[in-house]
Amino acid sequence: MSVICLSGGVGGSRFANGLQSLLPSGDLRVIVNTGDDFQLHGLYICPDIDSVLYSLAAVSDAERGWGRANETWQCLDVLSDLGQPDWFRLGDKDLAIHIVRTNQLRLGMSLKEVIDNFCVRLGVPTSIIPMTEDAVMTFLHTDSGLMDFQEFFVKRRCQPTVQGVFYKNIENADLHVKAFEAMQDSSLEAIFIAPSNPFLSIDPILSLPGMRELLSKRRVPCVAISPLVGGRAVKGPLGEMLDSLKGSRLPNVFVEHYSGLIDGLILDESDVEYASSIKIPTHFCSTLMRDQEAKTGLALSSMQFASRLHV
């Protein structure tokens, strides 16, 4: 089954890992949010892309949920001693990726070319596609004022109440040509919206000019996996954002949010009580991905569910 996964963040990277474990080499393409990309210490940093890369390469830190396993922090400690910002935790192994990426971008390589190079070096058979090569930044209107994603998410630890989200320069950005080609591929059999925060990870992808139209004209099933378990987010500020932006954490929020774009919704088995209220095909299973078996199990359930849907 040749599939596309729209992804960002920890949940998305883990789901992509499960898909990769089941699919033949090269049959998975992951379109990843770049709205949280930013520069720090003169380096170009791609948090969501790197989370997906590390997960697919099996080098991610499972306990923290981000960054690389067996990380050290000597460079960050020295930066802090020199009075430099240390609120964004860059480990030594992580820094090596940022240094190489920044240098290769300065030499004229595209972001996709840089990612492809990393995939070869780390043994990743999956095509990781940045949603765009253009600069797009996620900003949030909060009760503490306007702030960019990293200030809200990392520096302020998601404490401000979110009142709105927008993506700077999104109207001038182009969907990556590789993402467009993947969506048009005749071998495509399913599209998955990973269990990622819809506002911070998925909506930037969907907001690119032409992307919603491509999805609305899909000829294969598109399935979304809810990022909530029992009405609560596994990680991050999603629950609070749903409260402030949607006024509800019920599963139908995702049906409405992705209206016209999905053919089915997967929810955790703890939410089965809502089955009768959901107006599109629904599948319930364990969506917690705490280990490799759980990642593979959710991916398999998702593919089986998609194969039963008709567009």
Q: Average of pLDDT values for 121-125?
A: 98
Query: Please, which residues bridge with residue 44 across strands?
Result: 39
DSSP 237-250: SHHHHHHHHTS--S
Query: Does this model's pTM top 0.85?
Result: yes
pLDDT of residue 60: 95
Say if residue 9's pLDDT is above 90.
no
CATH of domain 2-36+125-136+169-307: 3.40.50.10680
Those residues with Cβ within 8 angstroms of residue 20's Cβ, 6 or more apart along the chain or in another chain: 28, 56, 124, 125, 126
pLDDT of 65 reads: 77
Contact between 182 and 31 under an 8 Å Cβ cutoff? The reply is: yes
- Rounded CA-CA distance 111/48 in Å is 13
Q: What is the per-residue pLDDT across 93-111, written as a single tens digit (0 to 9) for each? A: 999 999 999 999 999 999 9
pLDDT at 22: 97
CA distances from 136 to 55, 120, 139, 140 (A): 24, 26, 10, 13
Q: Which amino acid is at 63?
A: E
Asked if pLDDT for residue 64 goes beyond 90, the answer is no
Domain ranges of the chain: 2-36+125-136+169-307
CA-based nearest residue to 278, from 243, 250, 306: 250
Mean pLDDT of all residues in 133-149: 97
- Percentage of the chain beyond pLDDT 90 is 95
Four-point Cα dihedral 197, 303, 14, 270, nearest 10? 60
Give 148-196 pLDDT, tens digit per residue.
999 999 999 999 999 999 999 999 999 999 999 999 999 999 999 999 9
Contact 258, 266 (CB under 8 A): no
At residue 235, does pLDDT exceed 90?
no
Question: In terms of Cα–Cα distance, which of 268, 189, 186 is closest to 234?
Answer: 268
